[in-house]
């Protein structure tokens, strides 16, 4: 089912279709594009397997959060209508159908890749018989590594049904006790600490899933029983955490909520193999399935677990290794970040340029005796965070360090609690922000004593301070010592730490108190330009676009004659290309080796006038209601000419020009790959092979130059 196709409601068009696409179905369409990369013949085989694994992980999270939320609305009889006019029940029905189709496509992809991998000497076995040496090794492994940690449990009145944790996997065995011929049902829950796939020893790579290894040695687990059948199952539960308005202690609340998450309502039950009907009924009853989706497959459950096989050391089956460049501008100043920033603003694009420069900025601040204060927001920092280490070092060196740690970062709550505790022990002033709003802005502020006064250096980012995702997410880092930017950044921190709402901002715009209005002002200016016959264009790049008011503003721009080109990687509820509504809007999605994550807005601003340039902004916010109304976000104008031209004339334009990794969204809600082009262009290859934004140098090989921006409809 294509996202949003043939849905009703939400502000009708003449043909009865909605003005908007459904958010959940649009997300599923995005994951279908991710899965399509598993079939991309241009990619090495293990990279295709990686995309399959990612599609499985994405789908798990979607079920545990979005589907769980709709199921909760249905249980509580909340009839909240979606942007396209559907009730929660109607959305669940459409989602279930699409999820089943996606699951089937994943299994088909797995069977294809499994066969191709075997041809390359990388085999995944099930119940096939191997030579005596390997059979003996598997038996020994079972006895030494699995048998001590698993606990078979009979399911009868004397043995209550065990708790199955979120994402937990188990096996139900149907048996007969030889002594009295009595039927017995036994359950084995697979501990999460066990590896999902076990590699057999030898030069040839042979893997077996832990569940298949358990099943093929069931006779060792159940001596004195006859085995009739078995079935593997997996459970996905509601994993969202909702903040209660009367939560007095946010830290204590989250510690408790993380534990409750394990016991959330079952949303999906996955079944693999020829499971006994009685065993299936038992699972359905004991797990308390209420409107849960039951997915049966003869293939593999827990597709995300295939990431373990991707780690196999076969470089010829993976992308050519890529080493990010270090910004030459900073190297020219002997690695002194402050000297380089003081000379001129710098913009850096990750992962093509290393995230290490952001770490070095903080490390230098921690070690510099002239630095007196550091303020830092932390949304997701990862498990091995050099950022945390730098902040701790700064505090231990006697500097004033403030860290805004966001506890509400989904699935990172526990890690962020750990970081907050370590930071507090080191003397860092830890702030948890707002109870109702997430602090999603990416800001680092360093105050340094220089001469008779102080200078403030700022880092603004579109992505998290996370060293792992910074290697695979495309994001922008902007360094500046502009005093106006610094004043606004200080006001932002005062707003978060002391609820001191800024009366006036000189350059930055903050949500939820002005960012939306700033975007509207810029869109309205383009509408006015179009009506006056001036060049009127909007270019924007984001991860998701779901806010109906922002979409309506873009519709109004299209109707006024403004040419709008949007690069939206994931969810897009805007319906482009509809006559009289959005015929001047084009939407594309880019899926490739790196995950497109940077957020950019650019407005033509009547470019034919002398000395006028497009208005360009980077932001931490997507085009979603939560970002504009319920999160603390930043919109940062790029006034420095060099930085402005780099972001607009290189980063944004390269996204518009890409043909090899791009999908175009049609008015019918279907995404179609960009076809063959006379001038093929690969966004990721270009930035991997061309000079960095902040200096000269190249990586991998030489690539073609990006042409200068052309104010034509054909910018895509």
Structure tokens at 674: 């960009």
Residue range(s) occupied by CATH 3.30.1840.10 in the chain: 150-302
SS3 category, 633: strand
Please give the Cα distance from 185 to 632 (Å, whole number). Answer: 53
Query: Which overall architecture, per CATH, does domain 329-499 show?
Result: 2-Layer Sandwich (3.30)
Q: For 180, which DSSP code?
A: T
Tell me whether strands 225-237 and 152-154 are parallel, antiparallel or unpaired: unpaired
What is the per-residue pLDDT for 349?
Answer: 95
Residues 6+ apart with CB under 8 A from 488: 502, 505, 506, 507, 508
Q: What confidence score (pLDDT) does residue 11 get?
A: 41
* All residues at 6 or more sequence positions from 199 whose CB lies less than 8 Å from its CB, including other chains: 205, 206, 207, 312
The pLDDT, as a whole number, for residue 262 is 55
Q: Where in the chain is the domain with CATH 1.20.58.310?
A: 23-116
| Residues lower than pLDDT 70 in the chain | 1-16, 240-263, 381-384, 408-413, 608-612, 692, 694-716
- Tell me what pLDDT residue 692 has: 67
* Catalytically annotated residue among 350, 440, 597, 644: 440
Q: β-strands 585-590, 662-665: how paired?
A: antiparallel
Write the pLDDT tens digit of every residue in 536-591: 999 999 999 999 999 999 999 999 999 999 999 999 999 999 999 999 999 999 99
Of 171, 388, 151, the closest CA to residue 283 belongs to 171
CATH 3.30.870.10 residue spans of the chain:
329-499, 510-689
d(CA 573, CA 590): 16
Q: Provide the token pair at 5.
A: 């196709």
pLDDT for 609:
45
Secondary structure (3-state) at 474: strand
Report the pLDDT value the prediction gives residue 14, as an integer from 0 to 100: 54
3-state DSSP call for residue 566? strand
CA–CA separation, 109 and 693 (whole Å)? 38
pLDDT of residue 709: 45
- CATH class (in words) of the domain with range 23-116: mainly alpha
The span from the first CA to the last CA of the chain, in angstroms, equals 27
CATH domain 510-689 topology: Endonuclease; Chain A (3.30.870)
pLDDT at 716: 39
Tell me the pTM. 0.90
- Is 150-302 a CATH 3.40.190.10 domain? no
Give the pLDDT confidence score for residue 13 in this predicted structure. Answer: 66
pLDDT of residue 670: 96
Residue 440 is a catalytic residue: yes
Tokens in use for 487? 């004043």
């Amino acid at each position: 089912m294509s996202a949003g196709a043939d849905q009703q409601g939400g502000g009708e068009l003449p043909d009865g279709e909605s003005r908007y696409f459904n958010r959940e179905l649009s997300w599923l369409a995005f994951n279908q594009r991710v899965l399509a990369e598993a079939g991309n013949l241009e990619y090495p085989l293990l990279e295709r397997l990686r995309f399959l694994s990612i599609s499985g992980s994405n789908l798990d999270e979607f079920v545990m959060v979005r589907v769980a939320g709709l199921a909760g609305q249905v249980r509580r009889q909340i009839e909240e209508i979606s942007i396209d006019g559907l009730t929660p029940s109607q959305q669940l029905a459409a989602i279930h159908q699409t999820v089943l189709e996606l699951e089937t496509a994943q299994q088909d992809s797995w069977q294809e890749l499994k066969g191709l991998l075997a041809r390359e000497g990388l085999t995944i076995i099930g119940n096939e018989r191997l030579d005596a040496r390997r059979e003996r090794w598997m038996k020994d492994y079972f006895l030494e590594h699995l048998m001590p940690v698993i606990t078979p449990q009979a399911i009868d009145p004397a043995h209550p049904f065990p708790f199955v944790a979120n994402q937990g996997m188990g096996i139900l065995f149907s048996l007969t006790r030889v002594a009295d011929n009595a039927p017995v049902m036994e359950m084995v829950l697979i501990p999460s600490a066990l590896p999902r796939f076990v590699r057999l020893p030898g030069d040839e790579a042979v893997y077996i899933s832990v569940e298949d290894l358990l099943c093929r040695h069931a006779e060792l687990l159940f001596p004195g029983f006859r085995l009739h059948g078995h079935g593997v199952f997996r459970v996905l539960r509601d994993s969202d955490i909702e903040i209660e308005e009367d939560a007095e202690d946010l830290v204590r609340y989250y510690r408790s909520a993380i534990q409750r998450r394990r016991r959330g309502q079952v949303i999906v039950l996955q079944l693999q193999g020829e499971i006994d009907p009685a065993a299936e009924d038992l699972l359905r009853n004991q797990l308390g399935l209420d409107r849960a989706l039951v997915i049966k497959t003869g293939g593999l459950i827990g597709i995300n677990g295939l990431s373990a096989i991707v780690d196999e050391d076969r470089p010829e089956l993976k992308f050519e290794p890529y080493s990010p460049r270090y910004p030459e501008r900073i190297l020219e100043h002997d690695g002194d970040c402050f000297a380089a920033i003081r000379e001129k603003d710098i913009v850096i694009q990750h992962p093509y340029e290393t995230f290490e420069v952001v770490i070095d900025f903080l490390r230098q601040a921690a070690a510099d005796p002239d630095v007196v204060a550091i303020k830092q927001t932390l949304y997701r920092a990862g498990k091995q965070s050099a950022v945390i280490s730098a902040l701790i070092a700064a505090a231990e060196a006697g500097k004033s360090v403030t860290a805004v740690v966001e506890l509400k970062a989904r699935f990172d709550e526990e890690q962020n609690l750990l970081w907050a505790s370590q930071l507090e022990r080191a003397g860092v002033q830890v702030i948890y922000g707002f109870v109702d709003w997430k602090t999603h802005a990416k800001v680092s502020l360093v105050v340094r004593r220089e001469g008779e006064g102080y200078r403030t250096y700022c880092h603004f980012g579109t992505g998290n301070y996370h060293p792992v995702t910074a290697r695979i997410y495309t994001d922008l880092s902007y360094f500046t010592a502009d005093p106006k930017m610094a004043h606004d950044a200080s006001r932002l921190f005062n707003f978060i730490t002391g609820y001191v709402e800024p009366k006036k901002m000189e350059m930055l715009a903050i949500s939820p108190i002005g960012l939306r209005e700033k975007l509207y002002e810029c869109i309205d200016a383009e509408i006015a330009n179009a009506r006056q016959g001036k060049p009127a264009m909007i270019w924007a790049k984001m991860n998701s676009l779901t806010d109906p008011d922002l979409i309506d503003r873009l519709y109004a721009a299209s109707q006024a004659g403004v040419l709008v080109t949007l690069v939206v990687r994931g969810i897009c509820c805007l319906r482009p290309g509809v006559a009289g509504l959005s015929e001047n809007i084009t939407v594309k999605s880019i899926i490739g080796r790196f995950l497109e994550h940077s957020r950019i807005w650019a407005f033509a601003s009547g470019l034919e006038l002398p000395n006028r340039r497009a208005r360009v902004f980077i932001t931490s916010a997507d085009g979603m209601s939560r970002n504009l109304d319920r999160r603390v976000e930043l919109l940062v104008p790029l006034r420095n000419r060099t930085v402005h031209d780099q972001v607009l004339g290189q980063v944004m334009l390269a996204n518009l020009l890409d043909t090899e990794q791009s999908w175009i969204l049609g008015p019918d809600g279907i995404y179609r790959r960009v076809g063959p082009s006379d001038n093929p262009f690969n966004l990721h290859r270009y930035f991997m092979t061309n000079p960095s934004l902040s200096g000269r140098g190249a990586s991998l090989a030489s690539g073609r130059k990006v042409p200068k921006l052309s104010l034509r409809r054909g910018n895509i």
